[in-house]
Every structure is written in structure tokens, then in C-alpha cells.
Amino acid sequence: MEAFRQEIILSSVVIYMVFCVAVGLWAMRRTHSPSDFFIAGRSLGPLVVALAIFSSTLSGFGFVGGPGLVYSQGVSSFWMIILSTTGYALGFFLVAKRCLLYTSDAADE
């Protein structure tokens, strides 16, 4: 197994790159307008949108703020994981309909 380590790593990278290009080509064929690109033609469900918003907004905290908080406060700062997840979920349930109505009004203009 150790003798084929480089080949395994290289083939994994190539397979991943081919997969990324295939997904890009598939998405390019489905995108016909700016609306399709920016809001996915309004075809995504609320769970997918919630996960996308959650992952993009939390990534800054996860890579910069979270490690800094754990470094300064120690393990006791793990409460932030539970509170941020609960807060995002509650926020999505409270404002999701308003966001949907706002984006549909903005798209009509």
C-alpha cells in the first residue's frame, strides 16, 4: 500500500477535479438567465437555502472567530456551537416567509 501512495493521492485529486468539472458543466447547462444563477430559478427548497446561508455565514466564525474564542476561553466556549445552531434555526423559522416574500417582490420589479 505504501508503494502506491503517490498514485493513490494523484488519482484521488484527478477524480475530484473531474467531478468538479462535471458538476460545473451540468450546472452551466441548467443556467439560462441571471435569475437561474443568483437564486437558482427559485427552485431550491427551504432546507437547501437554510443550509447554504448557515454554512456561508458561519464559515467566517468557524475559521477565525471560533478558534479565537476557544483559545481565549478554553473548552467552556463550546456552548457557542449549540447556541449558534439553535439561533440560526430559530431565525430561519421566524423570518423565512418574509425573506421569500421580499425576494419575490424584488424579482418582480
- One domain for residues 16 and 39: no
- One domain for residues 40 and 26: no
108 pLDDT higher than 60: no
pLDDT digits (tens, 9 = 90+) for 22-53: 999 998 888 888 777 766 666 667 677 777 77
Residue 8 structural domain: 1-30
First to last CA, the chain: 61
Q: Which residue has the cell 437561474?
A: 36
CA angle at 13 for the pair 7 and 19, rounded to the nearest 5°: 130
Mapped onto helix, strand or coil, the DSSP state of residue 4 is helix
Distance CA 33, CA 49 (A): 19
pLDDT digits (tens, 9 = 90+) for 48-87: 777 777 777 677 777 777 788 888 888 888 787 778 778 8
- One domain for residues 103 and 60: yes
- One domain for residues 19 and 53: no
When divided into structural domains, the chain yields a total of 2
- One domain for residues 78 and 99: yes
- On whether the pTM is more than 0.75, the answer is no
